[in-house]
Amino acid sequence: MYIHEIVKQVRDLHAPVIHHLDQFSSMSDRLTAFAHCLEHGYQQLLPAAASEISNYHPDYLGKSPEEIFAAKLPKAELFRCISCEYGFSQSIPDISFKEEDFAFERALDFLLEGKLAELEMMLATYPFLTSQSSLYGHQAKLLHYCGSNGVEIWRQVVPSNLMEGIKTLLKYGADPQAKMEVYGGEFDMLALYQTSAHPYEAGLKIDEELQQLLI
């Protein structure tokens, strides 16, 4: 699996939440926990916190770590950053998770960890998963996460068998034309993939045959 150093640092920062996602019963609880991790990282002047803020806080996009830490952002602004990262322009909605949401998260973990046998078993058991959207505001589908772009930063990883993962999702009915809301517009998986540095740095390329299935 290819993981950019910044992505790895963000994963480490949010490890207490990432490894216990199924312990949260609602959207608000989970994202509040992510915000607390970001707050801790910000207080410790960790590069991961600055990177997350520069990528998602609308007032600090592209700002340097020095500028971000000098701003002395209050807790409310760090919560706002997490809200924006997960596709919400305002406050985090208090939505309870359902069984299908946990199934989506498990399938997504299998996809990004390159565990395609487990992923295929999930898709066979829950065929609706390829058409289901994330509860997060960006409404990404499983296929969108293969673009390593636009979704939550800690999930912008590239498994070595990504192409096989894409083919598996298509086999089970994923719509290559489906759009997710990000960067002020709507983009399909191929557009996200083609504008992401992560797959390129991982040395992976969509071949012509697969590209035809995605357009």
Residue-wise pLDDT tens digits, 100-135 = 999 999 999 999 999 999 999 999 999 999 999 998
Predicted pLDDT at 88: 87
The string over 9-20, giving b where at least 16 C-beta atoms fall within 10 Å of a residue's C-beta and e elsewhere, is: bbbebbeebbee
HEC profile of 138-169: CCCEHHHHHHCCCCCHHHCCECCCHHHHHHHH
Percent of the chain's residues with pLDDT above 70: 100
Categorise residue 19: left if φ over 0, alpha if ψ from -120 to 50, beta otherwise. Answer: alpha
Residues 6+ positions from 107 with CB-CB distance below 8 Å: 119, 122, 123, 126, 129, 142
Convert the pLDDT of each residue in 35-81 to its tens digit.
999 999 999 999 999 999 999 999 999 999 999 999 999 999 999 99
pTM equals: 0.91
Asked whether 89 and 137 are in contact (CB, 8 A), the reply is yes
Whole-number Cα distances in Å, 207 to 2, 39, 164: 19, 42, 12
